[in-house]
Amino acid sequence: DAGVIQSPRHEVTEMGQEVTLRCKPISGHDYLFWYRQTMMRGLELLIYFNNNVPIDDSGMPEDRFSAKMPNASFSTLKIQPSEPRDSAVYFCASSGTSDYNEQFFGPGTRLTVL
Amino acid sequence: GENVEQHPSTLSVQEGDSAVIKCTYSDSASNYFPWYKQELGKRPQLIIDIRSNVGEKKDQRIAVTLNKTAKHFSLHITETQPEDSAVYFCVVGSYDKVIFGPGTSLSVIP
């Protein structure tokens, strides 16, 4: 297995533009997590899915952020419109059959909003 | 909600010495306590975990101890090596949530 795959690895965009981050979890994993990491705020859980269903989105900062998981092998995190304060590394992670399994992180997407 | 704290926030040790990082939490219903290591520019990776029915777990040079009554658990690294330099995150899990601590930056000086 190639592990968790994220694309793009780097994204530079201008304020106001729409940004879409993509994630392919490890096959067979039931849980998918989206995190944001910054120096100021550390590693923040944005949202997580169980069997493609959003379970907890309380970490999503505001309505500009949305996440979907249309099937077991694909998820997107969208920011519209983007702002400079959204600049961060966004990680996707997946885990097995329960919350208590190891989370496997993807390589992250470094987003810069100018 | 759950409040997770880590101490210290930064730690420098000489190579070969031991390092201890402590994590405290507030929700007594929490019952899963992993530690993740994140090297500079890389992704977090699990290094050890413990569940609430166990007081201590060891894996070579790393160990985790849990005091569920006092609601804290600690990561112990013995015989530290330069490659142990990284940010370490404690994580507190319950049936419906997994929360990462703020992280501890460990520097091992050769």
- Edge-to-edge order in the sheet of strand B56-59: B5-7, B19-24, B72-77, B62-67, B56-59
pLDDT exceeds cutoff 60 at B105: yes
- A45–B51 C-beta distance less than 8 A: no
* pLDDT tens digits for range A60-93: 988 999 999 999 999 999 999 999 999 999 999 9
The DSSP secondary-structure symbol of A15 reads: T
**Any bridge partners for residue A92, and if so which?**
A34
Nearest-by-Cβ selection for A42 from B34, B43, B103: B103
Hey, what are B82's tokens?
């330069």
pLDDT exceeds cutoff 60 at A99: no
pLDDT at B3: 86
Chain B residues inside the 8 Å CB shell of A46? none
Distances (CA, A) of B85 to A45, B46, B64, B88: 24, 15, 18, 9
- Short-list A3, A34, A8, CA closest to A111: A8
Tokens 């949202």 map to which residue?
A: A47
Helices (H), B9-104: none
Hey, what are A90's tokens?
């966004």
pLDDT at A98: 66
* pLDDT tens digits for range B14-70: 999 999 999 999 988 898 999 999 999 999 999 999 988 889 999 999 999 999 999
Mean pLDDT of chain A: 93
Residue B29, chain A, CB below 8 Å: the answer is: no
Sequence-distant (≥ 6) Cβ neighbours of residue A74 within 8 angstroms:
A22, A23, A24
B98 pLDDT band (50/70/90 cuts)?
A: confident
**Any bridge partners for residue B50, and if so which?**
B33
- A106–B44 C-beta distance less than 8 A: no
Sequence-distant (≥ 6) Cβ neighbours of residue B49 within 8 angstroms:
A102, B32, B33, B34, B35, B57, B64
* pLDDT tens digits for range A15-53: 999 999 999 999 999 999 999 999 988 899 999 999 999
For chains A and B, what is the number of CB pairs under 8 angstroms?
40
